[in-house]
Structure 1
Amino acid sequence: MGVQDFLVVTVIGFCFQAQILSSQNLTCNPNDMKALEDFTSSLKTVVDGWGSSFSSDCCKWEGITCNSSSSLGIGLNNSIDTFRVVKLELPSKRLAGNLSASLGTLDQLRTLNLSHNLLMHSLPTSLFHLSNLELLDLSSNDFSGPIPVDIELPSIQFLDISQNLLNGSLPGSICDKNSTQLRVLNMATNYFSGNLPQGFGNCTSLEDLDLSTNYLTGTSDGISKGIFRLRKLTRLNIQDNMLSGALSEEIGNLINLVRLDISTNGFSGTIPDVFHSLGRLQNFIAHSNRFGGQIPPSLSSSSTISLLNLRNNSLEGSIALNCSAMISLTSLNLGSNLFDGPIPSNLPSCRHLSDVSLAHNNFPGEIPKSFENFHSLSYLSLSNSSISNVSSALQILQRCRNLTTLVLTLNFPGEQFPADPILHFEKLKVLIIAYCRLTGSIPQWLRTSSRLQLLDISWNQLEGAIPIWFGNFSNLFYLDISNNSLNGEIPRSLTGLPSLINWRCPTEEPSPDFPLFALRVSGRGLQYKRVWSFRPTLDFSNNNLSGAIWPDFRKLRSLHVLDLRYNRLSGPIPSSLSEMVSLETLDLSHNELSGVIPPSLVKLSFLSKFSVADNELYGVIPTGGQFLTFSSSSFEGNSLCGHDASPCPSGEDGPLGKWYGKSDKDYTGVIAGVCVGFVFGIACFIGIDRYIWTF
């Protein structure tokens, strides 16, 4: 019998068996049914497709897969076969509540996936004694407490309990009792502490291990007794912990590694020169440690490394990369170290290198002329690197025909911003030249960068007007020109920026996962903003801008931050600003604005920061909405009342009325009111005195 004939007979056999089984009285196993009922009763939410109104055959419920007892080798009972639950899969169903220990009685369960829900409290011990379980995914919930010390999962291949609130020690017994088939183990983003258990060395089939973002301690010697013996590992992520000491040379035993991330720990000493043994390694990420010395030769000449990130260490000396050997290198981040000497002129010969950060080092001198031929370069950061001659730098870099992101902050102190109209950056999307104290005006050549999405030239000494052609940047969603000496009116053309009228986050990130800015996340270390996580912003603060605030700003419905503080803007606050429905920050403080605060601004439901301090405003502070959350400092330095400021006197309809945002009426009403009695006159006097004293 040929192979094709065998397959035909097999398929027919399965179909025949299915017809026989369907003609029998197939029912859900009573024990399994009871376990699922207990599971639902422990939840605070209802599982769609489950419940008393549905079929008693649990195998027809959503997320349940069953096999017949006979197919599982359990046998028939009086010609009545029962279905056994082999898969329970309910990810991303917003399930809330506890996880019932009765699930541990589903003794034929192969797959349990309850990831991305709202389940909480401790993990039942019974789940870690299911002899047939192959996949267990409880990631992205709110489980807390320790996990069982005694684990017996002889069939487990995939185990993911990441992104929970679990604590205590890692279970070293996970591979002690015949769990030799485990290939993927993910315990990342929890609160596990203590040393890495040596028992992990018994997981001989492990290919992917992620223990990142915990509070694990210990030295590399401890790691070498366990993890560094797992020769089948292709991915090892132990970043964002508290590991310390020298990195053991035994890391070279992991000959199948493709990705190694040991970043954000306390490793010190030199990086071991063992990368000739790691012949498959593509990504080596060791940033934010305490490594010193130089880049080892086996790493600086690796033919397989494509991503090398060693930023935020204490590496020193000159940068010597063997670009003729590093044929796979695409991303290089050596920022925030102690490197010195000239910028390596041979980087353009790394033919696939596209993303480079050498920021926060010491490279006195100019950008090498060889960078004119750096045609693969897409992202370049040289901020705070002591380079000089901004004109030469831009002349050279404009020839990098694929350059999309350029960061040159904290360089060129006091130099003239080049106004050469020949400069041309056609593909540039992100340009940051801030904190340089550059002089001159905003150069005309910027208008050729029609693809700009983020422009930051803040903290310079630029003068003159804001160019009208800024309004032609159809993709611009972040503009920071603050802390300069710009004057004149805000161009009305900026009220028509398409990306701020209807901003949609593009799917393509214009720069790699290098930090442009850092944010402190409470209790969880540092996280870094990528370009598309920047809020749509117009920041014109700390200049000498004058004129009115255009009512047409209302069209910028996607703008999140509008910062106009410390200028000389005058006139009223347009009530139409209430149509900027996405505003989170509106700062108009320290200007010369007059009139009242438009009551319509209470409609800005996302507004979390608001200030009109130190203007010439009068009247009643609006109440309601987010205005109930703003402190009195947001309104000080004006003639305002209400809120936490001076209380508004009641009943004014005369000259005081316009001070408090009320219309002028016949003065006779005021005189008559004053004549009503001496007591009322005293009350008015006290009200006026309070106004003068407060403001």
Structure 2
Amino acid sequence: MGFQALWVAFLVLGFLMFQARVLQSQNLACNQNDLKALQEFMRGLQSPIQGWGTTNSSSSDCCNWPGITCYSSTSLGLVNDSVNSGRVTKLELGRQRLTGKLVESVGSLDQLRTLNLTHNFLKDSLPFSLFHLPKLEVLDLSSNDFSGSIPQSINLPSIKFLDISSNYLSGSLPTHICQNSSRIQVLVLAVNYFSGILSPGIGNCTTLEHLCLGMNDLIGGISEDIFQLQKLKLLGLQDNKLSGNLSTGIGKLLSLERLDISSNDFSGTIPDVFRSLSKLKFFLGHSNYFVGRIPISLANSPSLNLLNLRNNSLGGIIELNCSAMTNLSSLDLATNSFSGNVPSYLPACKNLKNINLAKNKFTGKIPESFKNFQGLSYLSLSNCSITNLSSTLRILQQCKSLTALVLTLNFQGEALPADPTLHFENLKVLVIANCRLTGSIPQWLSNSSKLQLVDLSWNNLSGTIPSWFGGFVNLFYLDLSNNSFTGEIPRSLTELPSLISRSISIEEPSPYFPLFMRRNESGRGLQYNQVRSFPPTLALSDNFLTGPIWPEFGNLTKLHIFELKSNFLSGTIPSELSGMTSLETLDLSHNNLSGVIPWSLVNLSFLSKFGVAYNQLRGKIPTGGQFMTFPSSSFEGNHLCGDHGTPPCPKPDGPLDSPRKSRRNKYVMFGMAVGIVFGAASLVLIIMIVLRAHSRVLILKRWMLTRDKEAEELDPRLMVLLQSKENYKDVSLEDLLISTNNFDQANIIGCGGFGIVYRATLPDGRKLAIKRLSGDSGQMDREFRAEVEALSRAQHPNLVHLQGYCMFKNDKLLVYPYMENSSLDYWLHEKIDGPSSLDWDSRLRIAQGAARGLAYLHQACEPHILHRDIKSSNILLDKNFKAYLADFGLARLMLPYDTHVTTDLVGTLGYIPPEYGQAAVATYKGDVYSFGVVLLELLTGRRPMDMCKPKGSQDLISWVIQMKKENRESEVFDPFIYDKQNDKELLRALEIACLCLIEHPKLRPSTEQLEWRRERDLTKARKCSCATSLYIRN
């Protein structure tokens, strides 16, 4: 009986569960109120969401839309609550490239538990209703473009996870969020523009475990109520302006595992309160103003894994208790004032792998005990006055795990040891630069076959460069410059595998350790000092090398920097060097090279620094490509002719005769001229008529013959003229061919990465600029037409309007209006009296005009357009010096392209943002960075990169940053625009430029902010002679 009852109960339960499933599936139809709210949400977006509201049977059932999760409120299917059925509980659309804004209707989704819109491009203010969702547990709006302040009224009683980082939110820090959000565990407000003091209130979030407030503008000290958070595991306050002494209250955070207070203005001594922080694993306090010694409790922390106190003013002797610090893995105490000997006890820290003690005040040599460092991977002791290199290498070779060794600015005048027993099997990075070392490159180094980066520059090394360098499979950076090497360049260097096909994977010694560190170096500088960011380089300059430049160097397609200047190299410049398609710098100046400059080098589209000065070169300087951008100093000291301040080239009339024969020929020719002048006059009129009748035919025939030699009519439909206020409707392809003399070089007025620009003078005197696109666009004709006509709809007073286009066989022509005053680059860097002709008022108007044009492309133009090649040569000037942004959107014609983000990078070296080299993604903030470089050009009158400048000032950005750090801002301005009356205005503009150049893209202003703020703030500064704000922020 009992068994039967149990069986019946089982059947009933099974039936009820089946019925519940049936009823639940029926009740999952989208709630109508939620459907309406989602439809309003869609209207706030600028493009539809794929799969939402499609024309099928479930178009109104939002529960089936991608990113939507619903649930039924019926319990086991027994109660059919139609009002609450099919309610939306999750809206998850992260990384969908959504654009537009978040509307108030999202607050109508009152059953929402998760809202995830991370990594999109949503903008404007956050809706008030968003902060009053009673069931919301997870809110992730990070990495968008939201702006404005957080509402004062917040009621999120169920919230557990809130992340609104990496936006443009401003105002005071919303500590009031904790008043009605007692369940919150993760609060991430980092990478915004919150300002003011860190006021009390966060202490009310008693369950908080992660608090991230880094990279804002917070000032003052740490609010004491934060120290009441007993469950707090992570506290991130880095990159603010917090100051004063670090509170002893830190010791109350008993659960703390990670503490990051780096890059602030904390001062005084570090409090000795770490004994109670028994779970602390990571302490980052670098780049502050701490003094004194490392606290005893910190030096005895058994849980600590990473200790980074780099770039402070700590001193005394380093005293760590390695017997207690059993988990310490990374130690960075560089750029302080520690003294005494390098601590000999450090190998007792058994897990220590990464050590950076650079730039301290140590004396003596490396301790013998360092041979016991079995796990040591990274060691930097640069600029520490260490002596005895032979002993140092003998000891460190026994560290079998060592992969990176940096010993720059030590061992002054010692010899590089040739001890054949030395062996560094796993070494990948070796830097012993600027030590004035003598001797030659030792044979033992050939056994370090894993080397990727070798820098032995600025020593006194001699002998030949060993050929075995060419056998290093992973070597991509070799700097042997400023030594005394002799002999030929090893031919084996032309076979370096990583420079032919760079597929190596570079692992940093530590994610927290820069390879080099300079005191108060900017974040941007640190980024470029990471190993993975070093450009592939062969630097052999300033030696005594002889012999030829091997043609096989052209095989190094991945090489970026090739420097051979100041040697005794001879022979010709190989035309094969044009195969180095990634080359940015080619410096062959101050050698004994002869012959001509190969015209094939114009194909090096990324070449931004070029030098052949002071050789024995002859012939014409190539034109086209990047050669149009190089200064005259790149070619001086030769026998060259053509452009760049050199004499004009002789006409190709054959070799000159002897002086006597030349004089006789002059008399003969004069007599002949007198005899025929009258006869010629009678034929002139006839000839002019004939030429006028046939010139069009001849040019067109020549055009046809230079193509495929196929017979094809010049169909008038080949030329498409677009609507514009200028009247060019009567212009034909025939006119363009004749007015450019079949695109003769004499009519070239500019060139860029996408093609050459020709001046076309029409028969009626009107002028046009014709861009002849280079290469294969990779698009079908129909796609090309669609893209061109889309670009033509970009109409703004500060954009160069596309007037028309033409497709003829493999040629694609774009028709633009002609700009009388050429480009900003011409006036700043090429025209002799150009800088003096551009006063500050003119430069300010040019900057504002370019900013307005760029803001239109990013914000108002439909579809939005990413420029990707902002530079001074792409800012054109009309007869009134009004600025026009040129070449916008050409990447859409030449490369597969997305209007917001693309992985096909183009641009001009010196203007390319640092993140492009790592992330390989072009963004709107990349355009802002490039605009910041142009703004620096306007302010300083200098090129972004100028190798003719002294070391330390060749890179414009680094030089300006350094001058600012030294409080010498007034010295960076172009003397033609600087005076006391506009001092404050110039300083304000300089701050704006520096904001555009911030390393982190999210921290840069948008073009909308940039354009509006520049006008308001600079106009205000002009009227009031003061500019109090230093930031482009609301």
TM-score (norm 2): 0.60
Name the counterpart of 1:586: 586
1:58 pairs, out of 57, 62, 69, with 62
RMSD of Structure 2 on Structure 1 (CA)? 3.2
Task: Please report how far the alpha carbon of residue 532 of structure 1 lies from its aligned counterpart in structure 2 after TM superposition.
Answer: 1.6
Q: Distance in 2 between matches of 1:204 and 1:499?
A: 54
Secondary structure of residue in 1 paired with 2:274: coil
Q: Distance in 2 between matches of 1:336 and 1:675?
A: 83
- Counterpart residue identity of residue 201, structure 2: G
1:166 pairs, out of 144, 166, 169, with 169
- Counterpart residue identity of residue 179, structure 2: D
In 2, are the aligned partners of 1:26 and 1:81 still within 8 Å (CA)? Answer: no
In 1, are the aligned partners of 2:23 and 2:77 still within 8 Å (CA)? Answer: no
Name the counterpart of 2:493: 494
Task: Please report how far the alpha carbon of residue 80 of structure 1 lies from its aligned counterpart in structure 2 after TM superposition.
Answer: 7.9
Task: Please report how far the alpha carbon of residue 675 of structure 1 lies from its aligned counterpart in structure 2 after TM superposition.
Answer: 8.2
Consecutive unaligned residues of structure 2, counting only runs of 5 or more, are 657-664, 678-831, 833-1034
Q: Distance in 2 between matches of 1:103 and 1:72?
A: 29
Task: Please report how far the alpha carbon of residue 436 of structure 1 lies from its aligned counterpart in structure 2 after TM superposition.
Answer: 0.6
Matched, 1:213 2:215: yes
Q: Distance in 1 between matches of 2:356 and 2:548?
A: 42
Name the counterpart of 2:134: 131
- Counterpart residue identity of residue 206, structure 2: T
Task: Please report how far the alpha carbon of residue 633 of structure 1 lies from its aligned counterpart in structure 2 after TM superposition.
Answer: 3.7
| 1:29-72 deviations in Å (ceiling 9; x for gaps) | 23322332333333233322235435222222222222235479
In 1, are the aligned partners of 2:16 and 2:76 still within 8 Å (CA)? Answer: no
| 1:514-549 deviations in Å (ceiling 9; x for gaps) | 111359998989656322222221111222222222
Name the counterpart of 1:690: none
Task: Please report how far the alpha carbon of residue 194 of structure 1 lies from its aligned counterpart in structure 2 after TM superposition.
Answer: 1.0
Q: Distance in 1 between matches of 2:259 and 2:76?
A: 40
| 1:420-468 deviations in Å (ceiling 9; x for gaps) | 1111111111111011111111111111111111111111111111111
Task: Please report how far the alpha carbon of residue 613 of structure 1 lies from its aligned counterpart in structure 2 after TM superposition.
Answer: 3.3
Secondary structure of residue in 2 paired with 1:92: coil
Q: CA 1:601–1:578 in structure 2 vs 1: closer, same or farther (change >3 Å)?
A: same
Name the counterpart of 2:206: 204
In 1, are the aligned partners of 2:335 and 2:358 still within 8 Å (CA)? Answer: yes
Q: CA 1:471–1:91 in structure 2 vs 1: closer, same or farther (change >3 Å)?
A: same
In 1, are the aligned partners of 2:507 and 2:532 still within 8 Å (CA)? Answer: no
| 1:529-586 deviations in Å (ceiling 9; x for gaps) | 3222222211112222222221111222222222222222232222222222222322
Moved more, 567-576 or 208-217: 567-576
Moved more, 514-523 or 579-588: 514-523
Matched, 1:180 2:182: yes
Q: CA 1:256–1:243 in structure 2 vs 1: closer, same or farther (change >3 Å)?
A: same
- Counterpart residue identity of residue 65, structure 1: T
Name the counterpart of 1:67: 71
Task: Please report how far the alpha carbon of residue 227 of structure 1 lies from its aligned counterpart in structure 2 after TM superposition.
Answer: 1.8
Q: Kindly report which structure 2 residues correspond to 1:637-676, keeping only aligned pairs within 5 A, or say none.
A: 637-642=637-642, 644-646=644-646, 652-655=652-655
Q: CA 1:10–1:437 in structure 2 vs 1: closer, same or farther (change >3 Å)?
A: farther
| 1:248-281 deviations in Å (ceiling 9; x for gaps) | 1110000001111111111111111111100100
Name the counterpart of 2:872: none
- Counterpart residue identity of residue 151, structure 2: P
Name the counterpart of 2:106: 103
Secondary structure of residue in 1 paired with 2:250: helix
Consecutive unaligned residues of structure 1, counting only runs of 5 or more, are 657-667, 680-693
Secondary structure of residue in 2 paired with 1:35: helix
- Counterpart residue identity of residue 304, structure 1: S
- Counterpart residue identity of residue 469, structure 1: W
Name the counterpart of 1:599: 599
Secondary structure of residue in 2 paired with 1:299: coil
| 1:334-363 deviations in Å (ceiling 9; x for gaps) | 111111111111111111111111111112
Q: Kindly report which structure 2 residues correspond to 1:457-496, keeping only aligned pairs within 5 A, or say none.
A: 457-496=456-495
Moved more, 330-339 or 620-629: 620-629
Q: Kindly report which structure 2 residues correspond to 1:617-636, keeping only aligned pairs within 5 A, or say none.
A: 617-636=617-636
Q: Distance in 1 between matches of 2:377 and 2:12?
A: 58
Secondary structure of residue in 2 paired with 1:316: strand
In 2, are the aligned partners of 1:26 and 1:80 still within 8 Å (CA)? Answer: no
Moved more, 570-579 or 283-292: 570-579
Name the counterpart of 2:886: none
Name the counterpart of 1:259: 258
Q: Distance in 2 between matches of 1:276 and 1:74?
A: 59
Name the counterpart of 2:443: 444
Secondary structure of residue in 2 paired with 1:233: coil
Secondary structure of residue in 1 paired with 2:298: helix
Name the counterpart of 2:704: none
Name the counterpart of 1:375: 374
Name the counterpart of 2:341: 342
Q: CA 1:67–1:578 in structure 2 vs 1: closer, same or farther (change >3 Å)?
A: farther
Matched, 1:86 2:85: no
| 1:184-213 deviations in Å (ceiling 9; x for gaps) | 111222222111121111111111111111
Q: Kindly report which structure 2 residues correspond to 1:503-522, keeping only aligned pairs within 5 A, or say none.
A: 503-506=502-505, 508-517=507-516
Higher helix share: 2
2:49 pairs, out of 38, 47, 53, with 47
Secondary structure of residue in 2 paired with 1:340: strand
In 2, are the aligned partners of 1:123 and 1:147 still within 8 Å (CA)? Answer: yes
In 2, are the aligned partners of 1:65 and 1:88 still within 8 Å (CA)? Answer: yes
Q: CA 1:134–1:8 in structure 2 vs 1: closer, same or farther (change >3 Å)?
A: farther
Task: Please report how far the alpha carbon of residue 245 of structure 1 lies from its aligned counterpart in structure 2 after TM superposition.
Answer: 0.7
Q: Distance in 1 between matches of 2:191 and 2:315?
A: 32
Name the counterpart of 2:536: 536
Secondary structure of residue in 2 paired with 1:320: coil
Moved more, 31-40 or 205-214: 31-40
Q: CA 1:49–1:529 in structure 2 vs 1: closer, same or farther (change >3 Å)?
A: farther
Name the counterpart of 2:23: 20
Q: Kindly report which structure 2 residues correspond to 1:4-19, keeping only aligned pairs within 5 A, or say none.
A: 16-19=19-22
Name the counterpart of 2:798: none
In 2, are the aligned partners of 1:516 and 1:528 still within 8 Å (CA)? Answer: no
Q: CA 1:36–1:512 in structure 2 vs 1: closer, same or farther (change >3 Å)?
A: closer
Task: Please report how far the alpha carbon of residue 392 of structure 1 lies from its aligned counterpart in structure 2 after TM superposition.
Answer: 0.8
Name the counterpart of 1:688: none
Aligned residue pair count: 658
Moved more, 614-623 or 333-342: 614-623
- Counterpart residue identity of residue 601, structure 2: L
Q: CA 1:545–1:134 in structure 2 vs 1: closer, same or farther (change >3 Å)?
A: same
In 1, are the aligned partners of 2:20 and 2:78 still within 8 Å (CA)? Answer: no
- Counterpart residue identity of residue 66, structure 1: C
Q: CA 1:615–1:41 in structure 2 vs 1: closer, same or farther (change >3 Å)?
A: farther
Q: Distance in 2 between matches of 1:674 and 1:237?
A: 92
Q: CA 1:600–1:306 in structure 2 vs 1: closer, same or farther (change >3 Å)?
A: same
Task: Please report how far the alpha carbon of residue 174 of structure 1 lies from its aligned counterpart in structure 2 after TM superposition.
Answer: 0.8
Secondary structure of residue in 1 paired with 2:22: helix
Q: CA 1:525–1:488 in structure 2 vs 1: closer, same or farther (change >3 Å)?
A: closer
Secondary structure of residue in 1 paired with 2:546: strand
- Counterpart residue identity of residue 347, structure 1: L
2:119 pairs, out of 106, 116, 120, with 116
Task: Please report how far the alpha carbon of residue 672 of structure 1 lies from its aligned counterpart in structure 2 after TM superposition.
Answer: 8.2
Q: CA 1:556–1:526 in structure 2 vs 1: closer, same or farther (change >3 Å)?
A: closer
Q: Distance in 2 between matches of 1:51 and 1:501?
A: 51
Q: Distance in 1 between matches of 2:434 and 2:258?
A: 36
Q: Kindly report which structure 2 residues correspond to 1:417-432, keeping only aligned pairs within 5 A, or say none.
A: 417-432=416-431
Q: Distance in 2 between matches of 1:247 and 1:562?
A: 48
Q: Distance in 1 between matches of 2:16 and 2:240?
A: 55
Name the counterpart of 1:195: 197
In 1, are the aligned partners of 2:586 and 2:607 still within 8 Å (CA)? Answer: yes
Matched, 1:563 2:569: no
TM-score (norm 1): 0.88
Q: Percent identical across equivalent pairs? A: 61
- Counterpart residue identity of residue 384, structure 2: S
Secondary structure of residue in 1 paired with 2:170: strand
| 1:309-333 deviations in Å (ceiling 9; x for gaps) | 1111111111111111111111111
Secondary structure of residue in 2 paired with 1:213: coil
